Amino acid sequence: MDPNADLRERLLAVMDRKDHWAWPSFTRPGLSRAQLTVHFRHEYQVYVRDFPVLLARVLGQGPPDDVRRALAENIFEEQTGKLSFGVAHPELFLEMMDGLGIPREAIRGPAPPLLPEAAAYRALLDRRSSSPPWIVGAAVLTIFVEGSVHERAEMDGARVLLPEEEAILAHPMVKHYGCPPEKLRLPRAHRAVEAGHRHDAWDMVLSHAGAGDAIASAVEEALAAWLAYRDDGRGGHKGKSVEDRAEDRRRATYPRPPAT
């Protein structure tokens, strides 16, 4: 029997809930450029821009050699893109903004400040990436932040992806918001490397898990902070209790985003 089967299931149960009731807004037309700017500005400043730095903090804690190799390869691709297009992933994100006609300064500028729940989620990522044990930070970053609601299907080998070109053309930013397909190199880069990164993420955590409760609790905490951040960014929390927000999420049965 796999000694880590219980932890694996606990983490997958968290990832099953990495979903947000407001996702339909991004799978259909109707959002203004101002609304897209708010969303993407927060994504960029909360984690996209500094994701290589967050990973490097975990690496700097001196994990075992196999983990060092996996993290180093992930950082190398995130910061240089040399395993895909030769362009750093944060830069590819800004390239997508170019395609949407959103000025880069509107995404990376210091004003206005991040919304409170976004700042809180970023503070959690800073704390978890900087504090030992390394395995907790690795789980939060590589399993939760890099992972998705599709994680269980990925792990079971059951996820079916559209062919790459079809997926790019079906992407909401192309289909509904006019982003030229050639400006969507970030999803292509993810396709090129993510299969290996997903395997590495789960392997490094499950192979070295000695503090299963601490790992599961930290990933659960990250989910709660992420959902609150997404609520804040959509305005869906206003006037709603915590229980009502949870009910919104429970009832969310909207279509999944197109696989890229």
Question: CA–CA separation, 217 vs 124, rounded Å?
Answer: 13
Domain count, the chain: 1
Dihedral (CA of 258, 146, 88, 116) sign:
positive
Domain-located, residue 235: yes
Classify residue 256: in a domain, yes or no. no
pTM exceeds 0.85 for this model: yes
Q: Check residue 196 and give its pLDDT.
A: 74
The reply to whether 147 falls in a domain is yes
For residue 109, give both structure tokens. Answer: 């500028």
- Band (pLDDT 50/70/90 cuts) for residue 104 is very high
| Within a domain: 259 | no
Asked whether the beta carbons of 176 and 28 are under 8 A apart, the reply is yes
Q: What is the CATH number of the domain that holds 201?
A: 1.20.910.10
pLDDT tens digit sequence for 175-207? 999 999 999 999 999 999 877 788 899 999 999
- Span 80-87, average pLDDT: 96
Average model confidence (pLDDT) for the chain? 89
Interatomic CA distance for residues 95 and 93, integer angstroms = 5
Instruction: Give the structural domain span for 105.
Output: 5-251
Within a domain: 94: yes
pLDDT digits (tens, 9 = 90+) for 201-258: 999 999 999 768 999 999 999 999 999 999 976 544 443 444 444 444 444 433 333 3
Which string of b and e fits 181-220 if b means at least 16 CB within 10 Å? eebbbbbbbbbbbbeebbebbbebbbebbeebeebbebbb
Quick one: pLDDT at residue 1? Answer: 62
